[in-house]
Amino acid sequence: MLDPNLLRGQLAVVAERLATRGYTLDAAAIESLEAQRKAVQVETQELQNTRNTRSKAIGIAKGKGEDTAALMAEVAGIAEKLKANEARLAEIQQQLATITLGIPNLPDASVPQGADENANVEQHRWGSPRSFDFAVRDHVELGAHKGWLDGEVAAKLSGSRFTVLRGELARLHRALAQFMLDLHTEEHGYSETNVPLIVNSESMQGTGQLPKFEEDLFSIEVNEAKRYLIPTSEVPLTNIVRDTIVDADQLPLRMTAHSLCFRAEAGSGGRDVRGMIRQHQFEKVELVSISKPAESDDEHERMTRSAEIVLEKLGLPYRRMLLCTGDMGFAAAKTYDLEVWLPSQDTYREISSCSNCGDFQARRMLARWRNPESNKPELVHTLNGSGTAIGRALIAVMENYQNADGSIDVPEVLLPYMGGITRLS
């Protein structure tokens, strides 16, 4: 959520910056509601002053034995007006909150302007795509071998965009998750955290999924209360600090979690619905950092580098992209995407997205730290990233390590997790 002071004092500047994201701010509606809010507050203050004056007058009149009926009637009328103003002010504030909760974060000054992914800026590449001397298979064809990857059975069980993994491929999928967790906890300083897969609406609102993106979420009813299946463990991890004041010596707070993720993906389609590219249910190792504002830029670089090391150790060619204003997520102020090489598509595809959200989520969550210099609570900065998406890492390994006979070599770094299996064949 944006700073209300920015919306009140620099509305035109905010609207201009949001326009670079393709978002049109309804400045007129905000100005109108702010004018109404001020008018109600001014009238309320005047009424309170009048009530106080009349109340004193009643006391004086009673002391003199004078009739106070008219004064008491006036005070009663003022009380009714104050009650009406209180209700009106609450209504105006709710309308402002509804608008504010739907406004995306402001892009950082270092983010390039652009309407879509075509304006993203490549930062660097690592590795060279492998040259094949045989016809390359995609992960669906490779997974059909021995029934390792089965979309038909998954569709029977749950519907489209679900997958059943079997045998050695299922083990390779598990190995990737264990490898990523071990790397991030043992070498990158993240604390392993096991989080709920079902959260309340406050948690979803805190990280920005609600109210704007409810149609993209799976929800259930629990004891007549609505709950949501997490789209990423960013939601419960980040909300751990909701409504808290973190001590300065605890920052940066770095957490990682391996979890299932659930996304309704309303309106999405195209080639990505084939196989495991875009699923309703998938697994991810998430990275979340809670940092001091002055350190969040460095923490963003550190987090992105942690995700890059995953791909380098797996021997997967990738490139880092700085997303433009029009391609960033709702809560992000700045985002790096890591795109891994997929031979079957002859292109790079996103496998990790690392974002610095500044104080945008923290303001929604009231997540703060105590600055020792002022000894006052201030908003933290929140960051999140994929470290990485396990299903897409599996796809990349399958396609980049495939052989002419349809077998798949196991990357060296995963061998300790495979129980002696060196090749899926």
Which H or E run includes 221? strand 219-222
Q: Out of 43, 214, 295, 350, pick the active-site residue.
A: 350
Catalytic residue status for 364: no
Please tell me which residue in 21, 51, 254, 263 is annotated as part of the active site: 263
Annotation-wise, does 264 bind a ligand? yes
d(CA 206, CA 209): 8
Residue 372: Cβ-neighbour burial (10 angstroms; 0-12, 13-18, 19+): exposed
| Cα torsion through 263, 265, 270, 274, rounded to 10 | 20
Tell whether residue 232 is among the known ligand binding residues: yes
CA-to-CA distance for 217 and 265, rounded, in angstroms? 8
Q: Is 174 a catalytic residue?
A: no
Separation of alpha carbons 187 and 112, rounded Å: 32
- Is residue 283 annotated as a catalytic residue, yes or no? no
The single residue of 54, 278, 364, 368 carrying the catalytic annotation is 278
The answer to whether residue 219 is catalytic is no
Rounded CA separation 307/333 (Å): 19
Flag whether 286 is marked binding: yes
* Residue from 17, 21, 302, 392 carrying the catalytic annotation: 392
Q: Which of 254, 353, 368, 399 is catalytic?
A: 353
Q: Which residue has the tokens 């790397």?
A: 183
Q: Is 233 annotated as a binding residue?
A: yes
* 349: annotated active-site residue: no
Identify any residues that bridge with 199 across adjacent strands, giving them in sequence order: 228
- 127-151 in b/e form (b: 16+ CB < 10 A) is beeeeeeeebbbbbbbbebeebbbb
Preceding omega of 388 cis (within 30 degrees of 0): yes
Tell me if 353 is assigned to a ligand binding site.
yes
**Local structure of 160: helix, strand or coil:** coil
CB distance 325 to 111 below 8 Å: yes
Q: Verify cis geometry, omega within 30 degrees of 0, for the bond prior to 252.
A: yes
List the beta strands (DSSP E) in 80-155.
121-126, 149-150
Binding site members for L-serine: 232-234, 263, 286, 384, 386
Residues serving a catalytic function are 263, 278, 350, 353, 392
Binding residues for ATP: 263-265, 350-353
- Binding residues are 232-234, 263-265, 286, 350-353, 384, 386
